[in-house]
């Protein structure tokens, strides 16, 4: 039985109007997330991943604005909600864990007090019940001596512990959607593995959907059910993790795959890198945004702006050569 659709984004356009020009940060992106599913949102820095998350949260600030599109959460368009309504949703129904744990926590408040603030705002628990819930949450995310640690300040926590504390804060009101924005940045691989084990455990215990923003495809392979590849403000390929890794259909996705270090690669062979650079979002190239860097590009790629199209069942790609790429592998 398929789970219900939790989040559906349709043709989202979010732009920043600066003195240098209009930054097309998210330029017509569409994606969906089901209950209990983990979606990996992948792309290079500046591709629009975090701006997409901020758009969902209603956190786009001047000079940015959402210019068009729809963001359906549990069937209701968030863009039609008032600021007051979005404040009630943020932290309760939709929560986010930012990548920089130290700057995300208030250095003048104890960790326990910061988690407690979320509970005071979004629940009707008494002060005593909040204290108990804070201890329970810290224990749930694997922080030892939770009663003692609740009274510590962020600088007294290690990086991994701060990230766990942020996750505890994010799940405190039992959200339906959890957004993780590069949650293991600057953490060593051992702590990174522990954080993802924790996230998987939390997902098994609830039916919440998770959007994992990352540039690391190896993380996606181990932690996600589906993946959406983002480039220059657009989703260029989406599908199940198994299908995308088995048969990537967009040249950008294929380039990312080839860039992953492999243990069986000869030592003398140089690691592949996609040529060129991510385009300036103010002056995007004509036609397909990826064509200046693409090995498949032809003249018509400068004249055609491909939309996301279903090539295989639930496997979409935005490339006029996607079917040729597929057929060339068969």
Range 66-69, long-range pairs (CB < 8 A, 24+ positions): 66/12, 66/13, 66/14, 67/13, 67/14, 67/15, 68/11, 68/12, 68/13, 69/9, 69/10, 69/11, 69/12, 69/13, 69/28, 69/29
pLDDT, one tens digit per residue, over 137-172 is 999 888 999 999 999 999 999 988 998 999 999 999
pLDDT, one tens digit per residue, over 225-282 is 999 999 999 999 999 999 999 999 999 999 998 887 777 767 777 878 899 888 999 9
Which residue stretches of the chain have pLDDT < 70?
A: 1-2, 186, 265, 329-330
CATH number listed for the domain at residues 1-35+43-85+230-262+277-330:
3.40.50.300
* pTM for this predicted structure: 0.91
| Tally of helices (H runs) and strands (E runs) in the chain | 12, 12
């Amino acid at each position: 039985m398929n789970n219900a659709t939790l989040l559906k984004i349709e043709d989202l356009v979010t732009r920043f109007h600066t003195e240098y020009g209009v930054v097309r940060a998210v330029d017509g992106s569409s994606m969906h997330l089901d209950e209990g599913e983990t979606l990996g949102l992948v792309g290079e820095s500046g591709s629009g991943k975090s701006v997409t998350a901020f758009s969902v949260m209603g956190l786009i600030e001047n000079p940015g604005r959402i210019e068009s599109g729809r963001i359906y959460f549990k069937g209701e368009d968030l863009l039609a909600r008032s600021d007051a309504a979005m404040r009630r949703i943020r932290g309760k129904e939709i929560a986010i864990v930012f990548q920089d744990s130290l700057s995300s926590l208030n250095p003048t408040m104890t960790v326990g007090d910061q988690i407690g603030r979320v509970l005071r705002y979004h629940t009707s628990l008494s002060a005593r019940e909040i204290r108990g819930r804070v201890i329970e949450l810290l224990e749930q995310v694997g922080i030892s001596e939770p009663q003692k640690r609740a009274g510590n300040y962020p600088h007294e926590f290690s990086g991994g512990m701060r990230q766990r504390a942020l996750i505890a804060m994010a799940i405190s009101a039992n959200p339906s959607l959890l957004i993780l924005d590069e949650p293991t940045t600057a953490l060593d691989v051992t702590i990174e593995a522990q954080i993802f084990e924790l996230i998987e455990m939390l997902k098994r215990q609830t039916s919440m959907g998770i959007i994992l923003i990352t540039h690391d495809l190896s993380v996606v392979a181990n932690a996600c059910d589906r993946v959406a590849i983002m480039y220059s403000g657009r989703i260029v390929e989406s599908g199940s993790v198994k299908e995308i890794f088995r048969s990537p259909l967009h040249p950008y996705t294929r380039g990312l795959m080839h860039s992953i270090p492999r243990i069986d690669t000869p030592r003398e062979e140089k690691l592949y890198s996609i040529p060129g650079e991510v385009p300036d979002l103010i002056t995007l190239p004509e036609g397909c945004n990826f064509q200046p860097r693409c090995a498949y590009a032809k003249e018509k790629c400068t004249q055609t702006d491909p939309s996301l199209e279903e090539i295989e069942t639930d496997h979409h790609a935005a490339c006029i050569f996607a079917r040729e790429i597929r057929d060339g592998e068969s």
